[in-house]
Amino acid sequence: QLQLVESGGGLVQPGGSLRLSCTASRFVLNYYVIGWFRQAPGKEREGISCISSLHDKTTYDDSVKGRFTISRGDAKNTVYLQMNSLKPEDTAVYYCAANWNPNSPLCTMGPHYHYWGQGTQVTVSS
């Protein structure tokens, strides 16, 4: 059973940066499509980025495009979300999710992922 653990959240001032990690124990994530999601208080969970398993094609929601970057780590069991130019509206619990699909050239940000982490809080405030 794949287990995902998010880390790297915290309190940051507007304009600051954070790097979130999504780490799997005893599994490599190269064969999984990975998505990052977030849920703000009182709002539905939304997909913000994903990375395919074939050729690492990335996709971003318009709300984070140009500010966030998803990437796979050299250790093969970690996927990162680099978040720059953070805004107060980025405040949310951030989740990573995974689907086994070794040869997927695309990824989507829908809610259909099978494996989910427990989330990490990101608060952007002065």
Given this model, what pLDDT does residue 76 score?
87
What confidence tens digit (pLDDT) does each residue in 47-84 have?
A: 999 999 999 999 999 999 999 999 999 888 999 999 99
> Taking 90 as the threshold, does the pLDDT of residue 94 lie above it?
yes
Nearest to 60 by CA among 2, 117, 107: 107
Strand ranges, E, within 1-126: 4-7, 10-12, 18-24, 32-39, 46-51, 58-60, 68-72, 78-83, 92-100, 115-116, 120-124
Supply the pLDDT for residue 96.
Answer: 98
Token pair 């094609």 in the structure block, residue: 57
Q: Is the pLDDT at 11 greater than 90, yes or no?
A: yes
